[in-house]
Amino acid sequence: MANLNIKSKKENSYDAIVIGSGISGGWAAKEFCEKGLNTLVLERGREVKHVKDYPTTNMMPWELEHRGGILQSVKEENPVVSRCYAYKEDTQHFFVKDTEHPYVQEKPFDWIRGYQTGGKSLLWARQVQRWSDFDFEGPARDGFAVDWPIRYKDLAPWYSHVEKFVGVSGNKDGKANLPDGEFLPPFELTAGEKYFKEFLKNNYPEREIVVARCAHITGNQDFYAKQGRTLCQNRTLCQRGCPFGGYFSSNSSTLPWAAQTGNLTMHHHAVVHSIIYDDEKGKATGVRVIDAQTKEMKEFYADIIFVNASALNTNLILLNSTSSRFPNGLGNDSGTLGKYVAFHNYRAGISAEYDGLKEYTTEGRRPTSGYFPRFRNLHKQETNFLRGYAAGFSSGRSTHSDYSGIGDELEQSMAKAPEYGPWRMGSHMMGETIPKEESQVSLDPTLKDEWGIPQLKISMDYDDNDEAMIKDYLEQMSEMFEAAGFTNIRTRDDKRAPGLDIHEMGGARMGKDPKTSVLNEWNQVHACPNVYVTDGACMTSTSTQNPSLTYMAFTARAVDHAVKNRG
């Protein structure tokens, strides 16, 4: 019996275990496998193979049974996920249904998840702006949360490392608050966006519109061919999965790259229950996994464990990993695990028209938009709220065809060239929120999921800082829109619950002091250094920029550290 146990332990042992195969887990797998480590990736969802498992990718609108719409009955059964803008008939199979994976909303929170190979990397909007020292120095400067244990210079080479492999289209804009990266050729701003950019230059010199950096291949074709990817074709059907590999996903890029090293083992339907901590050895030795289909519990072992289950699920796993050394969750000596979670504030937006630039039109598609980097409270505190907001900015002209008449008359109407409408301008805010102790996730004491794992209880909300920021965004944008000669200006605050931004962060924050943080400057759990957390759970503050590029950079940096410091 003892021999059998030793044999099974040996068979289930790896150099590194990565929990989750999404954006950050895919990067951990790639880096470990390239460095020669025998790596196990545990993914709770089903297998989704690049191209083969994108069932709607080449479908025409009329081939979709409901022309892309979601049935009212599906919306009623799944009120949370159906509020996500990307949840449509052609993408719904990549989203978690509310009914299948319940959680407890102590305060309303729309938790959007993707449980499959690649996680949410299939679904994301591919916006990849670097963070700057205005972000990493924010908590120390403004006196909230705790100081980040790193600065931009620590992450800059890893941003470059990631960008080169991922393929990032962008323009070098030379802005300190939006550092430049390793860019492929940028997409173009429309005439409306260029007009507003020029207007800002002349009237608000501290403010600027740039073309948003996005993870799409727009050049260097031979390099990406090695990944089996090619140039983006501007189809903007990305969230169906892209057969060209034009945008970055774990499925098209990091996971196949890891697999071709021969060092990758991947288990699907493998729900990680908890991390095993060995009191005698004083370290984590492996993970407990429940087979999602058979419900059988198994154990896997490794010297290094990376937790990349996406921010809130990572909190769940750590909180559920109890032992006599860590009765309140792995590495929770500080009592901060699950606390100081935060999100991005996407509640407000503005739209308008512009009765000029009639000589210009917009044709075709573009998988990105204009981007308004943060301009509030950068060099000094100038408002009644902390931090600031970035904003999306886009403009275009719609066309109207004439379908009047029937028979010959209809034919003649349709033969006319479509008429262009006015320029439409639109923007949405992307506000930084402040992580607070009372914003937290915890394990529900009684409710369990289908696999016997406690359900996650989520409790976070907007505060006065967020309300003041929304007011300021709407005032500032209205003022600039009016001054630029835009008309028919409409503002909105859709009062959405937190979560729909899909940028939840924190709960296992990085920090210098183990008394007030869970992770150190290398993303290692202070009190259990062979466990690393490199997804959104590690984030000390939230910035205004989209976070996934930063998770990827942290992951590559942490793998490098783990491998160099392997015993």
Q: How far is the CB of 90 from ligand FAD (least distance, A)?
A: 13
Segment contacting ligand FAD by CB under 6 A, of 4-12, 308-316, 355-363, 490-498 = 308-316
Q: How far is CA 111 from CA 122, 130, 196, 257, 451, in A?
A: 17, 25, 35, 30, 19
3-state secondary structure of 191: helix
247 interface partner picked from ligand FAD, ligand SF4, none, CB below 5 to 8 A per type: ligand SF4
Rank residues 35 and 126 by Cβ distance to ligand SF4 and give the closer one: 126
Closest approach of ligand FAD to the CB of residue 454, in Å: 12
Q: Which does 25 bind (CB under 5 to 8 A by kind): ligand FAD, ligand SF4, none?
A: ligand FAD
Q: How far apart are the first and last CA of the chain?
A: 30
Residue position matching structure tokens 């929304």 = 470
- Interaction of residue 375 with ligand SF4, rule CB under 6 A: no
Whichever of 174 and 364 has its CB closer to ligand SF4, that residue is: 364
Gap between the Cα atoms of 297 and 452, Å rounded: 11
| Binding flag, residue 442, ligand FAD (CB under 6 A) | no
Question: Judged by CB, which is closer to ligand FAD: 120, or 339?
Answer: 120
Q: How far is the CB of 125 from ligand SF4 (least distance, A)?
A: 11
Helices (H), 151-271: 152-166, 191-203, 221-225, 255-259
Compute the radius of gyration of the chain from its Cα atoms.
24
**What are 303's two structure tokens?**
């010297």
Part of the chain binding ligand SF4 (CB under 6 A), chosen from 78-86, 163-171, 242-250, 425-433 = 242-250
User: HEC string of 5-23?
Assistant: HHHHHHHCEEEEEEECCCH
45: left (phi > 0), else alpha (psi -120 to 50), else beta?
Answer: beta
Which position among 94, 244, 393, 486 is part of the footprint of ligand SF4 (CB under 6 A)?
A: 244
Least distance (Å) between residue 242 CB and ligand SF4 = 3
Q: Is 499 in the site for ligand FAD (CB under 6 A)?
A: no
Q: Does 373 bind ligand FAD (CB under 6 A)?
A: no
Nearer to ligand FAD, 354 or 389 (CB): 389
Measured from the CB of residue 494, what is the shortest distance to ligand FAD in angstroms? Answer: 16
Which one of residues 252, 274, 313, 321 is an interface residue with ligand FAD (CB under 6 A)? 313
The answer to whether 90 touches 240, Cβ cutoff 8 Å, is: yes
Q: Binding of ligand SF4 at residue 246 (CB under 6 A)?
A: yes
User: Rounded to an integer, what distance in angstroms lies between the CA atom of residue 88 and that of residue 75?
Assistant: 11
Residues 6+ apart with CB under 8 A from 532: 304, 305, 306, 307, 519, 522, 523, 524, 525, 558, 562
The distance from CA 175 to its chain's CA centroid, rounded to whole angstroms, is 23
Q: Which range of residues in 269-277, 397-405, 471-479, 508-516 is near ligand FAD by CB under 6 A?
A: 269-277
216 binds ligand SF4 (CB under 6 A): yes
Residue selected from 17, 18, 21, 321 as contacting ligand FAD according to rule CB under 6 A: 21
Q: Nearest residue to ligand FAD, using CB? A: 22
Smallest gap from Cβ 116 to ligand FAD, in A, equals 6
556/543 Cα distance (integer angstroms): 20
CB of residue 453 to ligand FAD, shortest distance in Å: 8
Q: Which is nearer to ligand SF4, 37 or 212 (CB)?
A: 212
Which residue in 18, 40, 112, 266 binds ligand FAD (CB under 6 A)?
112
- Range 29-58, binding ligand FAD (CB under 6 A): 42-45
Q: Is 82 in the site for ligand FAD (CB under 6 A)?
A: no
Q: In the structure encoding, which two tokens stand for residue 505, read together?
A: 């962060």
Phi-psi map region of 366: left, alpha, beta (phi>0 left; psi -120 to 50 alpha): beta
Return the closest-CA partner of residue 538 out of 501, 502, 511, 500: 511
Three-state DSSP class for 549? helix
Binds ligand FAD (CB under 6 A): choice among 502, 508, 527, 556: 502
Told to check if 236 binds ligand SF4 by CB under 6 A, we report: yes
Please report whether residue 290 would count as binding ligand SF4 according to CB under 6 A: no
Q: Are the beta carbons of 242 and 252 closer than 8 angstroms?
A: yes
On the 0-12 / 13-18 / 19+ scale of CB atoms within 10 A, 327 is: exposed
Q: Pick the closer one to ligand FAD by CB: 319 or 386.
A: 319
CA angle 356–358–361, rounded 5-degree value: 120
Q: To the nearest whole angstrom, how small is the minimum distance from the Cβ of residue 216 to ligand SF4?
A: 6
Interface residues with ligand FAD (CB under 6 A) are 19-25, 42-45, 84, 86, 112, 114-116, 119-121, 123-127, 270-272, 308-310, 313, 317, 502-503, 535-536, 546-548, 551
Interface residues with ligand SF4 (CB under 6 A) are 216, 232-238, 242, 244, 246-247, 367
